[in-house]
Amino acid sequence: MKTRLVFLLMLLALCLHVALGEVDIAWGALLGALLTGGEVNELHATIVKEVRVPRATTAMVSGTLLGWLGLLMQTWFRNPLAGPGVLGITSGGSLGVALAVLLGLALPAWMAAAVGCFAVLLLIGVGARRFVSPVTTLVFGLMISYAVSAVVTVLQSSATAEALQTYVFWGMGTFGKASLLQAISCMTLQLLLGMWMMRRAKWLDMWTLGEDLAQTMGVPKARLHLEILLITGLVLGVVTSVCGPLAFLGLATPHVYRFFHPKRGHLDAIQGIGMWGGLLALLADGVVRWTDSMAMHWPLNAVLAILGAPVVLAVLWKRTHDWS
């Protein structure tokens, strides 16, 4: 599938996402009023500006960011099943929210998640020089996840039902809580991460050839490692604090892209995966909003898993030995 087509589909999904909803926006009147400076329907303007646009852009941009992080992790660990979650950053966010909500601290969930994510990031930063190999980092992330779920379980056992519900809801993930400012922060990050990845595309290509070989070809391993850890941590911390711990997007998007384009270096993959990530996130959120309108309220993470798990399985089934 042509990348241009995916881009157009992504834009179409974005427009539909903003245009459709439970409230019928009188688009003709609203746009006309904005252009001519006439009387604006306040309710419609507010819905568009503070609900639909932040939600749609956050979905699209988060999808792109997570897709990129997935690609980065799969390349760095040379493992098709690596995703942004492997560093333990998302678990840190869960711990932050669990502490805040279950202990009843007066802290908004997004801030608690951010604190948790960046605490883990700090831990990684301090230990980075000791994480000589990708495998060490992988095990570190795994252990963080175990420790966090243990602490959360302990906290849960003595929490009120209401606090427990808040925590569980946070864990379901949503694009619907993003403010305009948060959406703009995510877009800024997208620009930064995109530029950094394009700059590093050649190093990442070399890295796929092997650790020793890449180093003899001029990849400074320690520096690249540090950059990957810090940038992934930063981006994932922000996305997790805005949207909750999102599953599957980061893991599945590179596979969807590779399904259509098995033969691509990183420079192409960055563009393609960015668009696929945005498109898939918008589609998933479309399903969430559709179930909302039917009063079924499927959580975002459930939709992502329902859509994502078969995709990953199908891809692995078809291409057992062949990935990048």
Partner 1 sequence: MNLVLNNVNVGHKHPLTGPLTMSFGAGGMHVVLGANGAGKTTLLRTVLGVQAPLAGHITLDERSGFLDASDPRAWGKHVAFVPSMPPKHVGLTVAEVLSLSGPWEQALSHHPQLEPWLNQRLSTLSDGQAQQVMVARAMLQSKDWLMLDEPTAFLDVRGQRHLWGMLTTHLNRGGSVMMATHDLRGVHRWMQEASADVLEVSSIHVLSSSGLSPLATDASLDAMEEAQG
**Taking the complex as a whole, how short is the minimal distance between the CB of residue 221 and partner 1, in angstroms?**
9
**Taking the complex as a whole, how short is the minimal distance between the CB of residue 269 and partner 1, in angstroms?**
7
Residue 129 is a binding residue for partner 1 (CB under 8 A): no
Residue 206 is a binding residue for partner 1 (CB under 8 A): yes
Residue 210 is a binding residue for partner 1 (CB under 8 A): yes
Q: Nearer Cβ to partner 1, position 207 or 248?
A: 207
Residue 316 is a binding residue for partner 1 (CB under 8 A): no
- Contact between 118 and 237 (Cβ < 8 Å): yes
- Contact between 50 and 205 (Cβ < 8 Å): no
Three-state secondary structure call for residue 238: helix
Angle between helices 134-157 and 109-127 (to 10 degrees): 140
Q: Nearer Cβ to partner 1, position 104 or 210?
A: 210
State how far the Cα of 147 lies from the Cα of 149, in Å rounded to an integer. Answer: 6
**Taking the complex as a whole, how short is the minimal distance between the CB of residue 70 and partner 1, in angstroms?**
14
- Contact between 187 and 293 (Cβ < 8 Å): no
Element (H, E) at 86: none
Question: Phi/psi at 25 (nearest 5 deg)?
Answer: -80, 135
Question: Phi/psi at 187 (nearest 5 deg)?
Answer: -65, -40
Count of residues of this chain found to bind partner 1 when the rule CB under 8 A is applied: 25
Q: Nearer Cβ to partner 1, position 28 or 218?
A: 218
Residue 202 is a binding residue for partner 1 (CB under 8 A): yes
Binding partner 1 by CB under 8 A: which of 136, 179, 216, 293? 216
Three-state secondary structure call for residue 2: coil
Q: Nearer Cβ to partner 1, position 156 or 208?
A: 208
**Taking the complex as a whole, how short is the minimal distance between the CB of residue 265 and partner 1, in angstroms?**
5
State how far the Cα of 281 lies from the Cα of 3, in Å rounded to an integer. Answer: 17
Residue 318 is a binding residue for partner 1 (CB under 8 A): no
State how far the Cα of 96 lies from the Cα of 82, in Å rounded to an integer. Answer: 23
Residue 1 is a binding residue for partner 1 (CB under 8 A): no
Q: Nearer Cβ to partner 1, position 177 or 261?
A: 261
The mark string for 75-104 relative to partner 1 (x by CB under 8 A, - otherwise) is ---x-x------------------------
Contacts of 315 (CB under 8 A, 6+ apart): 255, 256, 258, 259
Q: Nearer Cβ to partner 1, position 49 or 223?
A: 223
Residue 220 is a binding residue for partner 1 (CB under 8 A): yes
State how far the Cα of 105 lies from the Cα of 235, in Å rounded to an integer. Answer: 25
Residue 269 is a binding residue for partner 1 (CB under 8 A): yes
- Contact between 137 and 229 (Cβ < 8 Å): yes
Residue 213 is a binding residue for partner 1 (CB under 8 A): yes
- Give the CA distances from residue 257 to residues 2, 68, 164, 277, in Å, rounded to whole numbers and listed in that order: 11, 11, 38, 9
Residue 209 is a binding residue for partner 1 (CB under 8 A): yes
Judged by CB under 8 A, which stretch of 53-61, 150-158, 211-219, 240-248 contacts partner 1?
211-219
- What would the two tokens of residue 100 be? 């805040």
- Contact between 244 and 172 (Cβ < 8 Å): yes
Site residues (vs partner 1, CB under 8 A): 78, 80, 202, 205-206, 208-210, 212-213, 215-218, 220, 258, 262-265, 269, 321-324
